Amino acid sequence: MSLARLAGLLADETRAAFCLALLDGRAWTVGELARMAGVAPSTASEHVTRLVAGGLLAEERQGRHRYVRLADPAAATLIEDLSSYPGPRPAPVPANLRESVRLSAEARARTCYDHLAGRLGVAVADAVVDRKIVADDAGLAVTEAGRSWLVELGIDVQALRGGRPMVRWCLDWTERRHHLAGAVGAALCRRAFDLGWVERIGSGRALKVTPGGEKALRERLGIDPQV
């Protein structure tokens, strides 16, 4: 896709809002996206069709429902990077108490596509560097000790090698610092869910750390999960 065509796809506020919403890593129906953006379903469908044709979204149909998600990690990385360029997004102003509670919860801990973000995500990123699980000396990389640590956690390190970077920084728009992304960041997030360390709050991106997660994060990474 040409740069001009890509820029044209994301220049529309509704299409950009769709892509940002899909950073939660899950599939949304076109109707859900329409309600989120405050547009008619027919309008949402037209925008989704353009984003799918442009390769930013992938779709799947189940019965009468049309589900869409970001096409792949590369698309998510692009949206993440563009959303923080040339600097972090300003913190949104809550419209009411419910919105304020949601934003506060997301600031504490949330998903950013397929990895951990918010204060929890930044704390995990700091911890993996402090404990030399990840080295940030001459390019971000998993250390030998880090590979052993991941294996002990139940992560198949060999399976992480592929088309996406093993580890990379992602600028956290609420913390104005980096959290951990890439294949390792995604694997840690999946493992946190699998082990019951974190749970979703409602249907949004916000997460809560479980009592078991608090203990595990303290023991394995030395961080205070009460972020």
Domain assignments of the chain as residue spans, ordered by start: 3-83, 97-221
pLDDT at position 90, please?
57
Distance CA 69, CA 145 (A): 35
Global confidence as pTM: 0.77
Residue 14 CA, distance from chain mean position? 20
82-134 pLDDT, tens per residue?
A: 876 655 555 555 556 565 656 688 889 999 889 999 999 999 999 999 999 99
Tell me the CB-side half-sphere exposure of residue 195, using CA atoms within 13 A: 18
Q: What is the CATH number of domain 3-83?
A: 1.10.10.10
By three-state DSSP, how is residue 145 classified? helix
| 115 bridge partner residues | 112
Number of H helices, E strands in the chain: 10, 11
129-160 pLDDT, tens per residue?
A: 999 999 988 788 999 999 999 999 999 998 88
My answer on whether omega of the bond before 86 falls inside 30° of 0, hence cis, is: yes
pLDDT at position 63, please?
80
pLDDT at position 150, please?
96
